[in-house]
Chains A and B, each alone.
Chain A
Amino acid sequence: MAKEFLEGNFAMAEAAVRAGVEAYFGYPITPQTELLEWMSSRMPELKRVFLQAESEVAAINMVYGAACTGSRVMTSSSSPGVSLMMEGLSYIAGTEVPMVLIDVVRGGPGLGNIAPSQGDYNQLVHGGGHGDYHPIVLAPASVQEAIDLTVLAFDLAEKYRNICMVMADGSIGQMMEPAELPEMRPLRTTTPDWATDGCLNRDQRILTSILIDPTLEEVYNHKILNTWYRIQANEVRYKEYYLDDAEFVVIGFGTAGRIALTAVRNARAEGIKVGLFRPISLSPFPFPQIEELVESTQGILVTEMNTGQMLEDVKMAVKGRVPIEFYARLGGIVPYPDEILGEIRRLAHEPRSPDGDPRARWMQRLKDGVITLS
C-alpha cells in the first residue's frame, strides 16, 4: 500500500478495521472523537458492529460482553473517559478476555483540557482498576507507529488473553503525516474454546470474574501473574537512536520521545555524545534494556509530558547508579526541542550527582528561573 497523508485518529481507526475488528463501542470525547466518527460510518459499511454507548461505563461493558463471545473488539477514549472505564477493565482482566483500548491522552487531572498530555501513564501502566492485573500498553510516536501498534495490539491481546492498550496523546491523534495502512485482513473464522456464544453441541461455559473462594482467587492471581511474566519475557519493545557511542541518554516515550529525538540530533551537531532510548511498550517496561544502558552512560535525562510518572520506573531500573535529570511540560503543553536541548547541555556540561531527587531539582530550576517556560 502507498503512503497517504493521514490523521492519527482516523489512521488508528482504519488500522483496527483492517486488523479485523468486529465490534466497536465508544463515546465521544475530545481529542479522540474522529476515531469514533470514522467507525460510525466504516463499520456498518462493512456490516460490522458500531454502537455509540450512553457513557464510557456502558461502552467498556459492551466491549466486555462482545469480548466474551470471542469477537475481536475494541473501544477508544481519552483520559477522563478512560477513568470511567477502569471498573470494566478490572472485570475484563479478571475474566481474561482480550480487548483493545486506544487512549488519546489529554491534559488533566479532572476535566483538564483537550491538549496533548502523557498524564495517563500511571492510570494505564500501573493500574487504574482494582485488584492485581497488568495490561499491555504500547506508546506510538508517529501516525505510522500508531497504525502498526494498533494492529499489533489485537494480536497481543488475543495471544495472551490480556487487555492491550495503545497510549497515544492528543498530538498523535490529531496530527496528519504520511503513513501507510496495512492490507485488509480477513475476519476471524474460528471461535476460541472459552467463548460464551451459546452451548450448541457442547457443555455450558461461564465467564466470570468472581471467585468467592479465596483459595481459587489466589490461584487465579498466580495464573495471570504467570501470563504477565510471559509477556514481560517476550513483548518488550523500544527504539534506540545514536546509542552506540552515547555518553548521555535521553529517555522519553511517545510525543515527548519524538521531540527529544530532534533535541538529540541538535546536541549531536554541537558535539555532545547523546542518544535516545524510546520505550514503545510502557508495559511491559524495558527495565532490562535500561539497566544495560546504565553500564555505558554518564547521565540520563528523562523527559515526559507529565510530572515524572515514567521517571519512577526509570529510577527503578537505574537503581541510583548514574545521575538522572528530569524535564517535563505539563497540563497539555508539548515541549519544544530547544527546551530539551537546553537540558541535554546542562546534563553534559554541569556537575552531576546520582543522589537527590531529579524531579525536585527540576522544580527548583523552575523556581530559580534557570528554566523559563516558553
Chain B
Amino acid sequence: MDNIMRTEVQTVYSRPPSLSQTPTHYCPGCTHGIAHRLIAEVLDEMDIREKTIGVAPVGCSVFAYNYFTFDWVEAAHGRAPAMATGIKRVLPDRFVFTYQGDGDLASIGMSEIMHVAGRGENITVIFINNAIFGMTGGQMAPTSLPGQKTTTSPNGRDVETMGYPLHMSEVLSRMDGAGYVVRRSLHDPKNIRLAKKAIRTAFETQKRGLGFSMVELLSTCNTNWGMTVQESLTWLEEHMIPMYPIQDFKVSSGLDGFKV
C-alpha cells in the first residue's frame, strides 16, 4: 500500500497539441490516423505548430484539417503542390506541407508534383501510397500493383493495357531540386518509428532551406482492398514493399550530421 501511494504519476503518452480531439471519419484499420499523429508529434517537437500551414488534398484525407489545430487550406485534386508553392513564396518563413494520396499526387497531380520538385520548392510533401483510390471506392491508382483487383481493374491490373505502377519517390529523387526523398511504411511499430524520423528529417530539410522534401508512406486501405486489418498489414509487407522498397532515395548533404 505504501509503495502504491508513493508512486508518482507520469504522463507517458498524450495527444500532441497539434492534433485536435476529433472523432475519426477514417475506416477502422486505416493508417491515415497514424500518419496524422506522426506529423503532429513532429511539429510539436520542432515547436512550429503556429508557423505551419497544411495543404489538404482531394481523397480520403480531404478533411485532414479537421484533425489538426493549425492553419490549413484545401486544394483542388492534385493541385496541392501548386497551392503550397503560392503560400510558401509569399510566406517563406512559414512551414508549408502538402498531404496527398496516390491518386492526387501520382495521377491527376503529376505535373504539379514534378515541377514543385524540379523547382526545389522549399516545401514538404507527405505522400500516402495505398495503391488505390480510397474515397471514390477502390478504383485503380497509378500505384496499384500488377494483378491487383480494383473496381476499375476487376480482373486485376493488366500492365499491357493499364500500364505499370509509378515509382514516385524514385522519379522525384532524380530531380536536382529534391533535398530529401525517402519511402517508409506504416505497417508495424518499428516502421512507424522510422516513418516519424523521416517526417522529422523532411521538416528539417525545409527548415534548412534545402529544397523539396517528400516522405512516401506505404499505407493500407483494408476497406477497399477487401481485407481484414491484419490481412492488409500483411499484404502491404508481402506485396507492396517488394514493389516499393523502403529506402532513402535522396538525402541532401546539407543534412549531414543531422540525427533524430
Residues in A lying within 8 Å of B, measured CB to CB: 22-23, 25, 49, 51, 53-55, 57-59, 61-69, 71, 73, 87-88, 91, 95, 196-201, 204-210, 212
Contact = CB atoms under 8 A, between A and B. Distances in A.
B55 to A, nearest CB: 7
Most-contacted residue by chain A among B51, B89, B111, B114 (CB, 10 A)? B89
A57 B86 CA distance: 13
A51 B87 CA distance: 12
Given A198-B94, A200-B51, A206-B65, A62 B82 contact: yes
Contact of A62 (B72, B86, B94): B86
A57 B20 CA distance: 33
Nearest to B71: A196
A65 to B, nearest CB: 3
Most-contacted residue by chain A among B20, B55, B91 (CB, 10 A)? B91
Contacts of B229: none
Interface string B52-66: 110110000011010
Contacts of A63: 86
Given A57-B79, A206-B72, A200 B115 contact: no
Given A58-B111, A58-B115, A210-B63, 14 more contacts: A51-B85, A58-B79, A62-B82, A62-B83, A64-B76, A64-B79, A65-B75, A65-B84, A95-B73, A197-B71, A199-B70, A206-B65, A207-B74, A208-B65
B90 interface: yes
- The prevalent SS among residues of A at the interface is mixed
B79 to A, nearest CB: 4
Contact of B86 (A23, A87, A205): A23
Contact of B87 (A69, A87, A205): A69
A256 to B, nearest CB: 34
Contacts of A210: 62-63, 74
B91 A197 contact: yes
16 contacts: A49-B89, A49-B90, A55-B111, A58-B85, A62-B85, A65-B55, A65-B85, A88-B79, A196-B71, A197-B94, A198-B70, A199-B50, A199-B71, A201-B50, A209-B74, A210-B62
B112 A206 contact: no
B236 to A, nearest CB: 29
